[in-house]
Every structure is written in C-alpha cells, then in structure tokens.
Amino acid sequence: MAKQNLLGCTLSELEQLMIDLGEKKFRGGQLFKWLYRDNQYDFELMTDFSKDLRKTLDEKFEFKSLELIHMQESEDGTRKFLFNLHDNLPVETVLIPDFGSERKTVCISSQVGCAVNCSFCATGQMGFSRDLTPGEIIGQLIYLRENFGADAFSNVVMMGMGEPLANFDNVVKAIELMLAPTGMMLSRKKVTVSTSGHSPKIRKLADTGLNICLAISLHAAIQEKRVKIMPIAETFGLEKLMQAIRYYAEKSRTHVMFEYIIFDNFNDTMKDVHALAKLVRGLSCKINLLAYNPVDGLDFQRPSDDKMNWFGGQLAPRVPVVTVRKSRGRDIDAACGQLAAKQRLGKKHNV
Ligand code: SF4
C-alpha cells in the first residue's frame, strides 16, 4: 500500500493521526516539531518515540517534498527551481541571495498558472491549471531546507506563479505552518504575500490576524492604464484597492510594499509619478521600482537605466520610501512563470 505523505499536515492533523494510531495527542506535537522545526524526515531517527511507533510511522507514512526536474543558476547567484507535481504539472521557485547580507529570499508559487492574466506576465500566458495544496506550497520550502540546510532561506515571498489570494485557504494554512512557533518558526516580518489587488481578500487576510507583510503588484497608478495591463483592475478599481490596503495596514500595523514594474514608454512619465505619489499619500509604505524583464512573445520593453533612475529620482521626494531594485537572474528565465511556461510548451531550457 502506498505510504501517506504527511507534507503540509497541520499540528491538529498530526495530533489526530497519533490518536488514530492509539497514541497520546501530544505525540502529534512531537512529530510536528521533528518535521517542520528540526527538518528530520526519517522516522527511525525520531528518538523520543518508541521503537514500535517509529516502525508503524515508517510503514504507513512518509514526508516527501517536491520532485526537482530542472535548476538554473544565474551569474548573480539567483537559482530557479522547476518542480514536477504528482499530476505532471510544473511549478517554480526562485531563491535570491542578497550579497553583503545574510538575507536569502525565496519566492514561492501558490498556483499552477494564473487566471489573473496580466498582459506582461509569462505565468498569465499559461492560463490557470489548479491551486497548489498547502503541502505543495510548503514543499517548496522543505525542498530547500532538505537540500541546502536549515538556513537555505531567511525570507519568504509569495510572488511566484499564481495569485496567492485566489487560493486563500491553502495559502493561509501554509503560512500558519511557516509561522508556527514549534514549526518553521519564521517571523511574520519575514513572510510576504504579494497580490495583484483582490480587494475583498486583502480585507479577509487582515482579519486572519496573521499580520504578515503585504505587497501589492501595482504597476500603474492610473486606473485606465492599470486596466490595460491587469484585467483584475476592472473588477477591483484603484479606489477600492486602496481602501482595502489602508484597512490592512491599520489592522495588521505593518507598512505595505508596492511593486511597480516600469515598462518602457507606458507607465514612466511625470504624470505617472504624480499619480503614484497621490495614490499612496498618508500611507506608511515602500515603493519598489523594477525594470521589466522581457518575456518571449510579449510586446513590452525594458526601460533604460537612465529612465529608471529618473523615475526614482522624481518619485523619491514625494513618497515615504522608494528603491530602484536590480532585476535578478536576467541570464536565466527569471521572470515569474517563464521556466514553467517553457516546460509546458516543451521548449528547451537555456542551461
Ligand atoms: S503577474 Fe501575478 S497575478 Fe498577474 S498573471 Fe502573473 S502571476 Fe498572475
């Protein structure tokens, strides 16, 4: 009989599992610590369990992360992992080291493909296949810890394939595993959910009390422009979106991060600077400017470095904090969804 994979199981599920095996409930807590805190996946080595219990666990269960099918490493140290899920669907994860600091950010996926269909995004072009389970979300992190050690990453951003808030329940369950004090023990300040702007779900996330960081993929501060590149803006316009963001910031007492990709000759004028400054007025926030990383087959172009610096320079005195972020992994398929899109189209990877 196939073993049951415990990847993604919560504390209460493991407690119930132990009760079902005729053990005391607290054994579930011990198992939870071994798996998520101590990164010990071999039941035989769980020394506070009896020999019989270890044998039973080994016979019936396993804790298996994801199957890696491809990895690309950039000259700048960024690594991109392509995983194969049990139903042969691809999903990707990007690990971005920050040289000169201990920070290592892992960008994880929450869905295979994405239904939001932003016109500049490789994932959007793939269409939507399905939501990831909590195990498949957390499995991206477990894979890294299993293969690169407990300090494989320091920060987690849900900014990979998919719209995390469209897979709300599974994403929240995965975040609970990341934050659990006897689990992965990540600080709420080191976990970020990035959304394209699903206003009702932003409010719902605020109401969970998880108080994690929130990033908004804004990319245009003028409604008509935003609708052109992000169809979700038709349903959740900028006004509603900003109300939800202010609600989140107040309730979770955290500042919000806005991601603003600059597309050459699209959202890079003085009018855009003014609109952006007006939009975030009075909000404790940070704006990250990022040059577009071109995707095969899409029309958008990368702006020059001068344009990036000009836009950042104009914006800086008008908003609380602005950074011009270097795009990472340009020599690999680093834009979200590029590697998985190639996998689905049967193209060769460039490594
Ligand atoms: S940018 Fe994000 S929300 Fe938009 S299509 Fe790509 S993955 Fe989906």
pLDDT value of residue 348: 37
Decide if 95 contacts 77 (C-beta within 8 A): no
In this structure, the answer to whether residues 285 and 192 fall within a common structural domain is: yes
In this structure, the answer to whether residues 105 and 159 fall within a common structural domain is: yes
Mutate to test the pocket of ligand 1, among 91, 110, 118, 227 (most ligand atoms within 8 A of CB): 118
Q: What is the pLDDT of residues 96-143, one digit of tens each?
A: 998 778 899 999 999 999 999 999 988 888 899 999 999 999 999 999
Q: What is the pLDDT of residues 135-150, one digit of tens each?
A: 999 999 999 999 999 9
pLDDT value of residue 333: 52
In this structure, the answer to whether residues 117 and 51 fall within a common structural domain is: no
Q: Kindly report which listed range (92-96, 297-301, 308-312) carries the lowest average pLDDT score.
A: 297-301
User: Strand, helix or coil at 123?
Assistant: helix
Decide if 219 contacts 230 (C-beta within 8 A): yes
Radius of gyration of the chain (CA): 21
In this structure, the answer to whether residues 115 and 24 fall within a common structural domain is: no
- What mean pLDDT is predicted for residues 52-61? 97
Nearest alpha carbon, ligand 1 atom 7: 162
Question: Would you say the CB of residue 117 lies under 6 angstroms from ligand 1?
Answer: yes
User: Strand, helix or coil at 275?
Assistant: helix
Mutate to test the pocket of ligand 1, among 110, 132, 163 (most ligand atoms within 8 A of CB): 163
Residue in 23, 92, 136, 163 annotated catalytic: 92
Instruction: Decide if pLDDT at 347 tops 80.
Output: no
Instruction: Decide if pLDDT at 16 tops 70.
Output: yes
In this structure, the answer to whether residues 52 and 115 fall within a common structural domain is: no
pLDDT value of residue 125: 83
If one counts the domains in the chain, the total is: 2
The verdict on whether 118 is a catalytic residue reads no
DSSP code of residue 161: S
The domain spanning residue 40 has which CATH number?
1.10.150.530
pLDDT value of residue 21: 97
- What mean pLDDT is predicted for residues 311-331? 86
Q: What is the pLDDT of residues 134-193, one digit of tens each?
A: 999 999 999 999 999 999 999 999 999 999 999 999 999 999 999 999 999 999 999 999
Alpha helices in 192-323 (DSSP H): 199-208, 223-229, 232-235, 238-252, 270-279, 305-315
Decide if 119 contacts 228 (C-beta within 8 A): yes
- Containing structural domain, residue 201: 67-345
Burial class, 29, CB count within 10 angstroms (exposed 0-12 / middle 13-18 / buried 19+): middle
CA of 29 to the centre of ligand 1 (A): 37
Q: What is the pLDDT of residues 193-226, one digit of tens each?
A: 999 999 999 999 999 999 999 999 999 999 999 9
CA of 53 to the centre of ligand 1 (A): 45
In this structure, the answer to whether residues 284 and 318 fall within a common structural domain is: yes
In this structure, the answer to whether residues 55 and 176 fall within a common structural domain is: no
Average pLDDT, the chain: 92
The reply to whether 1 falls in a domain is no
CA of 114 to the centre of ligand 1 (A): 6
- Number of other CB atoms surrounding residue 345 within 10 Å: 10
The domain spanning residue 293 has which CATH number?
3.20.20.70
Nearest ligand 1 atom, CA 117: 5
In this structure, the answer to whether residues 121 and 268 fall within a common structural domain is: yes
Confidence category of residue 295, pLDDT binned at 50, 70, 90: confident
Question: Would you say the CB of residue 158 lies under 6 angstroms from ligand 1?
Answer: no
The verdict on whether 121 is a catalytic residue reads no
> Of 62, 83, 98, which one is at a domain's C-terminal end?
62
CA distance 121 to 124: 5
CA of 4 to the centre of ligand 1 (A): 33
